[in-house]
C-alpha cells in the first residue's frame, strides 16, 4: 500500500504548475547536452522517501549508464496522478512513470503505456525474478517495484485466553478460534469492514480468502463470479461466522480505519490488514502483544498462499522516444540490490524476489511477514481492472444482502456478475 500523506491545495497546485512545463517523452539529444539522452521519471515516491534517497539511486544509474540522464518529476500522489492522466491523454507522458494499478486499464486502452513484455524480451530481462506483474491481454504493462502487503494480524493474549493453542492456518481452525475468542466475552473473533462508501474490504478482507487458496474471481481477465465455487465457498465460510456472532458488530458500516482501531484497542482477536499499520498499532497500544501470519487457506490446500498487496508500480510511456533506455531504468530499479535499497527506504517488500531489505531482519513482525511474503504469491486481482472501486462496491452490496439473509449466495454472485460485466463493457 502506498504510504498515506496529506497535501494541501497549494502544494498540489505548485506541483502541477511545476510539471506543466514538462514536454514529456524525454529530451532529444542536443549539442549542449553532449548527446545525452534525458529520461523523465514522473512519480510520487520521492516526497515519501528519505530526502535524497531516490536521487542517489538515479545518480548511481547514470554512473552505470553513461549517456543517459534522469530528470525526476516529483510531487504528491494527487498531483502526480493528475499529471500522468493528463499526459496519457495528450501523448506527453514522461518516459518512465510511477503507476497505481488502478490507472493501468484506462492507460492501456488509450495506448499510453508501452508493452513491457516486448521490452523485457528485447532486453533479455529475466522476468522470473519479478514478484508480480500487471498484465492485460496477456502482456505486462506495469511492474510492482515496492509492495505493501496485507497479512493476518492476531492478538496473542486473546488467543491464549480463549485456549487456542496455535495461530489458525486453515478456515476450520480460523472459524473455531474466532468462536472461542467471542465466547470469552472479552472481544469478537474477527473484524470485517464492509462500508460501501469505501468498499476496499471486499478486496482486502473477502477476496483475500479466495486468493489465499490459489483461487480467482476472474477467467481470462473477465468476471467469473456466477457459478464460481471458490468464491461461493468463501462467502458461505464468512456467513457461517457472521451467523455465529463471531464477527465484530457494525460490519455493514465499518471502514478500514475502524477495523484497525478495534484491533488496536483489543476488541477483536484477528484481522487482515496492511503491514504499514504495524508501527501505528504499537504507538497507540504499547501493551498489545500481536503477531502476523499467512491468511488461512481452505482445508487441505497445500499450494502457495496468495497475499493481497498494493504497490508502487512502474511503466514506460507509449510515446517515449527512448523506450530501450527507459526500460534500462526500470531494469535497474528492479535489480536485486537496488530494489532492496529502495524498499528498505520505503519500508516495503521488494518487487524482486531475491531482494532482502535490511529492515525485515531488524524487527520480528516484519521478518515474520517477509517470510510469509517470500513463501507465497503477491495477489490483487483488482489491480488493472476497469473502475475497480465500483466493482468492489457492487459486490459489497450483494454480499451484504446475502449476509443479512435477503438472498442466497448464488443470487448474490449472479447479480454481481451482471454488474461487473456491465462495468467491463463500459
Q: What is the pLDDT of residues 169-223, one digit of tens each?
A: 999 999 999 999 999 999 999 999 999 998 999 999 999 999 999 999 999 889 9
Domain count for the chain: 2
In 199-335, which ranges are continuous DSSP H helix? 201, 207-212, 229-244, 256-264, 278-284, 323-333
Q: How many CB atoms lie within 10 A of CB 50?
A: 11
- Number of residues that make up the chain: 426
Query: What CATH number does the domain containing 184 carry?
Result: 3.40.190.10
pTM, entire model: 0.77
Average pLDDT over residues 228-249: 98
- Residue with the bigger pLDDT between 66 and 33: it is 66
Per the domain annotation, does 1 fall within a domain?
no
Nearest to 379 by CA among 312, 304, 321, 277: 304
Q: Distance between CA atoms of 100 and 15, rounded to whole angstroms? A: 18
Quick one: 362 and 239 in the same domain? Answer: no
Is 31's pLDDT higher than 50? Answer: no
Q: Distance between CA atoms of 183 and 78, rounded to whole angstroms? A: 45
Least confident of 29-38, 44-53, 363-372: 29-38
Quick one: 298 and 338 in the same domain? Answer: no
pLDDT at 137: 87
pLDDT tens-digit series, residues 68-80 = 999 999 998 888 9
Burial 34-44 (b: 16+ CB within 10 A, else e): eeebbbbbbbb
Quick one: 117 and 201 in the same domain? Answer: no
Please check whether residue 307 is in contact with residue 147, taking contact to mean a CB–CB distance below 8 angstroms: no
Quick one: 252 and 394 in the same domain? Answer: yes
Q: Distance between CA atoms of 250 and 92, rounded to whole angstroms? A: 47
Quick one: 157 and 184 in the same domain? Answer: yes
Quick one: 82 and 194 in the same domain? Answer: no
Per the domain annotation, does 2 fall within a domain?
no
Quick one: 99 and 33 in the same domain? Answer: yes
Average pLDDT over residues 288-294: 96
Quick one: 140 and 158 in the same domain? Answer: no
Per the domain annotation, does 4 fall within a domain?
no
Per the domain annotation, does 359 fall within a domain?
yes
What would the grid cell of residue 276 be? Answer: 504499514
pLDDT at 426: 67
Per the domain annotation, does 396 fall within a domain?
yes
Quick one: 225 and 98 in the same domain? Answer: no
Percentage of the chain with pLDDT > 90? 77
Range of the domain at 142: 9-148+310-378
Write the CB contacts of 225 (distance below 8 Å, at least 6 apart in sequence): 217, 231, 395, 413, 414, 416, 417, 420
Per the domain annotation, does 3 fall within a domain?
no
> Where among 356, 378, 400 does a domain terminate?
378
Average pLDDT over residues 224-233: 98
pLDDT tens-digit series, residues 306-335 = 999 888 999 999 999 999 999 999 999 999
Burial 119-151 (b: 16+ CB within 10 A, else e): bbeeeebeeebbbbbbbbeeebbbbbbbbbbbb
pLDDT tens-digit series, residues 163-176 = 999 999 999 999 99
pLDDT at 48: 85
pLDDT tier, 12 (very low <50, low <70, confident <90, very high otherwise): very low
Backbone angle region of 24, left / alpha / beta, with phi > 0 → left and psi within -120 to 50 → alpha:
left
pLDDT at 32: 37
Please check whether residue 129 is in contact with residue 351, taking contact to mean a CB–CB distance below 8 angstroms: no
Which residues pair with residue 314 across a beta bridge? 98, 143
Q: Are strands 268-272 and 188-190 parallel, antiparallel or unpaired?
A: parallel
Q: Is 249 helix (H, G, I), strand (E, B) or coil?
A: coil
Instruction: Report CA Rg, the chain.
Output: 22
Which residues pair with residue 135 across a beta bridge? 140
Quick one: 249 and 275 in the same domain? Answer: yes
Quick one: 241 and 257 in the same domain? Answer: yes
Q: How many CB atoms lie within 10 A of CB 332?
A: 18
Quick one: 51 and 141 in the same domain? Answer: yes
What would the grid cell of residue 148 be? Answer: 505493501
pLDDT at 309: 87
Amino acid at each position: 500500500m502506498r504510504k498515506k500523506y496529506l497535501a494541501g491545495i497549494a502544494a498540489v497546485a505548485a506541483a502541477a504548475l511545476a510539471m506543466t512545463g514538462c514536454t514529456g517523452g524525454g529530451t532529444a539529444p542536443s549539442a549542449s547536452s553532449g548527446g545525452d539522452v534525458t529520461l523523465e521519471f514522473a512519480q510520487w515516491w520521492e516526497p515519501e522517501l528519505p530526502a535524497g534517497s531516490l536521487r542517489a539511486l538515479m545518480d548511481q544509474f547514470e554512473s552505470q549508464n553513461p549517456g543517459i540522464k534522469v530528470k525526476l518529476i516529483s510531487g504528491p500522489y494527487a498531483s502526480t496522478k493528475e499529471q500522468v492522466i493528463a499526459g496519457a491523454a495528450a501523448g506527453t507522458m514522461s518516459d518512465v512513470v510511477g503507476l497505481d494499478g488502478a490507472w493501468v486499464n484506462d492507460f492501456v486502452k488509450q495506448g499510453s503505456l508501452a508493452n513491457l513484455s516486448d521490452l523485457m524480451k528485447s532486453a533479455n530481462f529475466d522476468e522470473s525474478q519479478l514478484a508480480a506483474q500487471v498484465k492485460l491481454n496477456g502482456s505486462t504493462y506495469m511492474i510492482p517495484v515496492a509492495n505493501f502487503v496485507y497479512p493476518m494480524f492476531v492478538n496473542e493474549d486473546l488467543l491464549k485466553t480463549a485456549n487456542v493453542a496455535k495461530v489458525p492456518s486453515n478456515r476450520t481452525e480460523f472459524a473455531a478460534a474466532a468462536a472461542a475468542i467471542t465466547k470469552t466475552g472479552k472481544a469478537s473473533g474477527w473484524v470485517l469492514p464492509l462500508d460501501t462508501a469505501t468498499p476496499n474490504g471486499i478486496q482486502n478482507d473477502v477476496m483475500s480468502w479466495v486468493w489465499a487458496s490459489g483461487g480467482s474471481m476472474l477467467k481470462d481477465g473477465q468476471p467469473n463470479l456466477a457459478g464460481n465455487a471458490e468464491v461461493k465457498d468463501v462467502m458461505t465460510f464468512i456467513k457461517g461466522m457472521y451467523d455465529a456472532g463471531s464477527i465484530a458488530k457494525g460490519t455493514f458500516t465499518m471502514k478500514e480505519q475502524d477495523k484497525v482501531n478495534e484491533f488496536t484497542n483489543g476488541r477483536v482477536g484477528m484481522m487482515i490488514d496492511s503491514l504499514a499499520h504495524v508501527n501505528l498499532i504499537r504507538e497507540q497500544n504499547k501493551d498489545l502483544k500481536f503477531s502476523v501470519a499467512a491468511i488461512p487457506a481452505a482445508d487441505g490446500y497445500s499450494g502457495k498462499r496468495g497475499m493481497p498487496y498494493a504497490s508502487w508500480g512502474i511503466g514506460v510511456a507509449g510515446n517515449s522516444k527512448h523506450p530501450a533506455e527507459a526500460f534500462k531504468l526500470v531494469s535497474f530499479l528492479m535489480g536485486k540490490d537496488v530494489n532492496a535499497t529502495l524498499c528498505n527506504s520505503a519500508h516495503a517488500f521488494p518487487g524482486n524476489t531475491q531482494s532482502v531489505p535490511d529492515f525485515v531482519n531488524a524487527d520480528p513482525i516484519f521478518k515474520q511477514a517477509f517470510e510469509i511474503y517470500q513463501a507465497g504469491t503477491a495477489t490483487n486481482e483488482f489491480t488493472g481492472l476497469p473502475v475497480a472501486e465500483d466493482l468492489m462496491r457492487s459486490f459489497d452490496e450483494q454480499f451484504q444482502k446475502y449476509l443479512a439473509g435477503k438472498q442466497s449466495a448464488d443470487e448474490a454472485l449472479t447479480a454481481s456478475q451482471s454488474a461487473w460485466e456491465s462495468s467491463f463493457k463500459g
